[in-house]
Chain A
Amino acid sequence: MYVVRPVELADIAALEKLAAVTMPGVHTLPRTREKIAAMVERSIASFAAHVDIPSEESYLFVLECPDADGIVGTAAIFAAAGSNGTYFSFRNDVIQQVSRDLNISHSVHALTLCSELTGYSQLSSFYVGEKERDEAEAALLSRVRLMFAYLAPHRFADRFFVPLAGMTDADGGSRFWDALGRKFFQMDFLDAERTIGGARNRTLIVELMPHYPVYVPLLPGDAQAAMGQIHPSGELAFSLLTEEGFEADDYIDIFDGGPILQAHKHSLRTITGAMTRSVTAAANEPDRNREAPVRYAVAAAFEQNFRAVVVECAPLEGQQTAALPPEVLAALQVAEGDNVVCVRI
């Protein structure tokens, strides 16, 4: 049975292997062993921390395959984006051009450098192996972050966002970057990303990026076309997240123009639909078993050992308890009487 669980120190080598296969220009995971180790340690410390106000915590989950494959997916959530700085993005503004005297009325799009996403909780580092892409486990991995936020709301902000990698060509060039950032940074897209380490909270962004709105119609056609477009590697995340309730169109990335999805927690299906149930061992309930089974993401309701699996069982909506088979209890490391968080997938 696939399990999603908090990352452990023993996972570092496996993560390094995963990082080697991800795409250029798409930063799901850091590239070097030290950085991966730092990320893992930070996650372990974050789970262990007693949090009053969300700040620099970063929680990394891994998807573990039951067979020899080991770790086949990752997903992370930062408690507060831009910690130690400001999270910069471009806000998509629509400026109404109205002149009653001339009978003109139309709208013009402009991109404005903004820091509004600072302090939002940020989902990132979503990666899932080829074999699991189309399975319920992909959805489980994506959602587990929000299930954790449901269980431990004090660790997170009320709003969440997810930057998705934007369009890049085969050489790692970005048309959006060429038309915009390059004019200020005077370097290639990949060089800039390398220099800045994928961060969006560095002071040099405000030093270099445009202080005034960038009027979209003035950008070349190919740069306009790239705005809000996702890199093919982000399509799975995009569909999972929009299904979840995230909305695109309001913000885009300042470097590659990729979409930034965002939502208030009250509009996210995982958070509004999550149920806490008390665990019982699965008993033979002939009446109930006639109902069509439903697929749930089920997670142990422990902040320190937040493990989650996909379970198919009779509907839990009308129940006080969740009757789970022994192998699920084992995978979640829960016993009868413990609570679990359940969300329909």
Chain B
Amino acid sequence: MLVVRAIKADDLDALYYMATQVGSGMTTLKPDMKMMGDRVAIAVASFAETIPPEKRDYMFVMEDTATGRIAGVCAIKGAVGLTEPFYNYRIGTLVHSSRELDVFTRMETLYLSNDLTGSTELCSLFLHPDYRSGNNGKLLSKSRFLFIAQFPHLFTEKLIAEMRGYQEEGGRSPFYEGLGRHFFKMDFDSVDDLTAVGKKSFIAELMPRQPLYVAYLPQDAQDVIGKVHNSTAPARRLLEQEGMYFEGYVDIFDAGPVLQARVSELRAMRESGLAQIGPTTDWDAACAPEAGSEPVLVSNTVIKDFRMILSQAVPVDGAINLPEAEQKALHCHTGDSVRTLSLNVRKNPNV
């Protein structure tokens, strides 16, 4: 069984091993033992609630309970941009118009902004290739929404996720080549590395301060603004199902989209609910729609030892009949509360 759970200090080695298997473009998970050790320490303190909410970085690992192997990782940062500036480009519009000439030109512009400062960020999603099947990706990505729904008071109103931007087969980023390179004079990979070691704001300081007219960029750079890396397209769809959307902010280096949402508007906030572990009556079960056909995310409600699984059990009228093995995986017992959320968006939420 796969369990998504709060990271522990002794997961560090397994995490490091996995990071060595991520290609370039994923800025938040670099195989650097020192950085990673620091990050895990912060994550452990976050779940233990010994540091203030805005400094927290909740890291989750997906563990294969059969082998004890770590299959994936994901994280939620309490707030971005509070210790060093957090930069994005905002896509804006400038209209240049002359009545005299009857010319009306609508120009797209890129404004360097810190608008997303203080937002909660979903980040560092990585699923080992061996586990990229079935509902595993969804379980890992969506686990974070269930966590937020369980502990909404820990997060700011705005939630964001930076998506990896478009790159060609060979790893070339047309947007970077069309813009950033002229200001940094270094390769995309080098910039990427610097970003990973926390020097993104240094680099951003080299970016032009004034708004840029998109029309001046080479066509291939213009074309990829707000476009995700091919391998990231499924991840983007998952987030969009949960209520996140692209609102015109992109990464300053690769122009990957930033997805945003208000925490209060997430599907998990509306549709997840608490249920008590215990038997459901036959009568209740009879009323449940298509019992057993829809997988459900189920988590415990303990921040220190947050655990989540995917179950076929159906929550009915405030109760859920979880099998023994699943209760064990959640470190729960009969009578405990769990939070549940259907894995997939219901076709008709009123059913």
Contact = CB atoms under 8 A, between A and B. Distances in A.
Interface of A: 95, 97, 99, 101-102, 104, 106, 108, 110, 179-180, 183-187, 195, 202-204, 207-215, 217-220
B37 interface: no
B217 interface: yes
A204 B98 CA distance: 6
Q: Is the interface of A mostly helix, strand, loop or mixed?
A: mixed
Given A183-B107, A186-B105, A214-B213, A208 B98 contact: yes
Contacts of A95: 208
Interface centre among B96, B185, B186, B217 (most CB of A within 10 A): B96
A185 B101 contact: yes
Interface centre among A97, A202, A219, A220 (most CB of B within 10 A): A97
Contact of B206 (A99, A203, A208, A210): A99
Interface string B62-106: 000000000000000000000000000000001011101101010
Nearest to A210: B213
Contacts of A186: 103, 105
Contacts of B203: 99, 102
Nearest to B95: A207
Q: Which 6 residue pairs are nearest across A and B when measured between Cβ atoms?
A: A217-B182, A204-B98, A212-B210, A207-B98, A218-B216, A183-B215
Interface centre among A101, A110, A184 (most CB of B within 10 A): A184
B97 A218 contact: no
B182 A108 contact: yes
Nearest to A202: B100
Contacts of A195: 101
Given A104-B186, A186-B105, 17 more contacts: A101-B202, A108-B208, A183-B105, A183-B213, A184-B103, A185-B103, A186-B103, A195-B101, A207-B96, A207-B98, A213-B208, A214-B213, A215-B212, A217-B183, A218-B178, A218-B216, A219-B216
A211 B111 CA distance: 13
Contact of A207 (B97, B178, B185, B210): B97
Given A99-B205, A108-B208, A219-B216, A184 B105 contact: yes
A139 to B, nearest CB: 40
Interface string B6-47: 000000000000000000000000000000000000000000
A195 to B, nearest CB: 6
Contacts of B211: 212
A214 B216 contact: yes
A208 B103 contact: yes
Contacts of A183: 105, 107, 213, 215-216
Contacts of A185: 101, 103, 105
27 contacts: A97-B183, A97-B184, A99-B202, A99-B203, A99-B206, A101-B199, A101-B202, A104-B184, A104-B185, A104-B206, A106-B185, A108-B183, A110-B208, A180-B216, A183-B105, A183-B213, A183-B216, A186-B105, A187-B103, A208-B96, A208-B98, A208-B103, A212-B213, A214-B213, A215-B208, A217-B183, A218-B217
A293 to B, nearest CB: 56
